[in-house]
Amino acid sequence: MESELKQVSESVFALIGPQGGTNFTIIKNRAGHAVLIDADIRRIDEIEEALQLAGCSRVEYLIDTHEHFDHTSANFYFAQRGIPIVASSGCVSAMREQGGPDFERMMKPVPELYERFPGLCLTLPDVQFTDRTKVTLPGVTLHLDYRAENGHSHSKGDTTLYFEEEEVFIAGDLLYTEVHPVTFFSNIPNWLSSLKTLFDSHYKQLVPGHGPSVDGEQRGRAYFRKMHDYLEDFYGHLQEIKAGRESSDELAQHMLSGSYRSLGKTRMVQRNINQF
């Protein structure tokens, strides 16, 4: 399976990860200057190819939607090229406090990348914001909003982006479409609150952190609701397990049946339950 480079609007290109792999988004202005949203060093060739296919002559900013390795591990690569990296202070402090061991663990299966990129290491964003900020290029106004409820929803850094000129909303990992989410780094009740604040957001196109992009606000709303209801259901069952009224096998079976049957990345279900 290969990633798909999808043109979401005139200036927005989403590199949709295969089988629910991480999405990366490129916003390009008329001069060919780009803002890149999230980047994983394991997929840097794909990202470089996507930038080329999208017609970008240079990257002006890299934005991290949150601290997880699959969204931030190419920070080193772009920092070396002098590109500023923007993230919420929640994201930066999570990386500073817990990012090191996570980085090493995730790099274990791909040691060859240390040879290819000498000095490769966890690299913190160098531009931080607290609640909201704007990143602009000529023709591009990008609104960044920190969404981690009480500092921790899907992650500690959760940031959404809204590209004003073309009404594109980039949700980061607060939203997964058509695939099971990763919940074991999360505070699920807070994540539910964050999702509620997104039900009424406005956009023409919606790009989730994982899974296909969504055309139109109505369909987008349905996906935000589905995400909310999935997490609420899952969390309710986790409480039943805690109380000894349900087994983890029963929950796994439930999360793989009914309306969840069509969701991809099914291996996440057992991991989400085990790590709880």
Footprint on this chain of Zn ion (rule: CB under 5 A): 68, 173
Beta carbon nearer to Zn ion, 28 or 210? 210
Closest by Cα among 170, 118, 174 to 140: 170
Beta carbon nearer to Zn ion, 24 or 33? 24
**CA-to-CA distance for 98 and 226, rounded, in angstroms?**
30
Which position has the token pair 């792999």?
Answer: 21
Beta carbon nearer to Zn ion, 123 or 183? 183
The rounded radius of gyration (Å) of the Cα atoms in the chain is 18
Beta carbon nearer to Zn ion, 40 or 46? 40
Neighbours of 54 (CB within 10 A): 19
Beta carbon nearer to Zn ion, 11 or 181? 181
Q: How far is the CB of 166 from Zn ion (least distance, A)?
A: 25
Q: How far is the CB of 154 from Zn ion (least distance, A)?
A: 6
Q: How far is the CB of 107 from Zn ion (least distance, A)?
A: 17
Beta carbon nearer to Zn ion, 155 or 205? 155
Tell me the backbone φ, ψ of residue 15, rounded to 5 degrees: -90, 100
Q: How far is the CB of 220 from Zn ion (least distance, A)?
A: 19
Q: How far is the CB of 182 from Zn ion (least distance, A)?
A: 6
Q: How far is the CB of 138 from Zn ion (least distance, A)?
A: 31
